[in-house]
Amino acid sequence: MTRFYIYLLWLVVGLNGLAYESWGRGSQCDEFYNSAKASPVVFQNAFETSRILGEYAGGLVVRNVFSQKSFIRDLFQLRPEEFYIDFGTGDGGALESIYGSGRDLDVEFKMRAQIMFSSLNLREQQGWTRLEHAEDALKDRLRGASDRDLEMMYRLAERPFQLKPNSVGITYKVRRVIPETDKMKLMKDRLFEDIPDEEIPRYKLASSFFGVFSYTKKVSDVLFKALSRAEPGARLYIYGMNFMVKDSLEKPSVPLETWLKKHATGIKIHTPTLPNRGVIMIERTSEALSMPVLKFLKQVGEHETPPKYIFLRTSDIHN
Ligand SMILES: C[S@@+](CC[C@H](N)C(=O)[O-])C[C@H]1O[C@@H](n2cnc3c(N)ncnc32)[C@H](O)[C@@H]1O
């Protein structure tokens, strides 16, 4: 019953959240945003924050001709003492799914479709006239995951509570009450950039689904900090990162993941060669971690979501 009320609250706040907030663009605001460590939308919380675990499962798959790395499979394989971190967990829908039951996953699917359908923006853009249209669109988002992956998601949900892995969700803002337990904790009200390293548990698996790694203006600081808390062999799946890097002002910019492959040590970058190109996976190797320090140079275009940022290499090194 309590869970029912939590869902109800989630629905109300979720609907509220999907409506874009208007925000004064006075000079004080501009000054704050220009010097801020992350994109303005993080402070406004003006984006989708209620994705469910199935959407993570569908998006976080790195598929190549001979291999496939799947977030949900890695999550399924975590041991009870190991940690999963969601860097930018929003309203914690994906996290909470791990600790409910298979039945809850079905309820969450319906609730999420309802939230999507209730968004005027989405309804107008997509021409949806019935709830089933939103349900079909949601099913599409799950389609990146194989039937086997989705079955693992249900099996994980049904696993006895104490045998599930530990999770931590990091979010600057949260719109609903998320019931924390000794298995699931939330770090909220602070930017990840401002959380002391030692507060971040050492983890085996992490995700950022349009999260911290899509909106930061301190990308190398954030990557270095997150990866220095990764256990050897840990995997960080990132979806929706629109960042480019220039080695110098005169040189052309290259995608951050391509640049990291060349310039960082202690990590291996996995990018898909087959569709689902929005995703990359970073695997922590046992070598010492290092990468050049990047500084924010500029934003390209005003309306891209997530923002397209260009960073410039400096002569300093994180190590
Ligand atoms: C677009 S929402 C996505 C939420 C969730 N992953 C989902 O798919 O529904 C971005 C989330 O990342 C969080 N976030 C972004 N940058 C952050 C930062 N630098 N520190 C802490 N949280 C951040 C926001 O507060 C928000 O929770």
How much distance in Å is there from the Cα of 209 to the middle of ligand 1? 8
For ligand 1, atom 15: residue with the closest CA? 212
How much distance in Å is there from the Cα of 210 to the middle of ligand 1? 7
Mean pLDDT of 267-291: 90
CA–CA distance, 83 with 229 (Å, rounded to integer): 11
Q: For 128-153, write each residue's pLDDT tens digit.
A: 999 999 999 999 999 999 999 999 99
Kindly list the protein residues whose Cβ atom lies closer than 6 A to any atom of ligand 1: 38, 42, 47-51, 88-90, 170-173, 191-193, 209-212, 215-216
Query: Quick one: tokens of 179?
Result: 């019931």
Q: Which atom of ligand 1 is nearest to the CA of 49?
A: 9
Q: Which atom of ligand 1 is nearest to the CA of 56?
A: 8
What pLDDT score does 33 carry? 67
CA–CA distance, 276 with 239 (Å, rounded to integer): 10
Query: Any idea where the domains of the chain sit in the sequence?
Result: 2-18+41-318
Q: For 79-128, write each residue's pLDDT tens digit.
A: 999 999 999 999 999 999 999 888 999 999 999 999 999 999 889 999 99
Report the predicted TM-score, pTM, of the whole model to 2 decimal places: 0.91
Check pLDDT > 50 for residue 15.
no
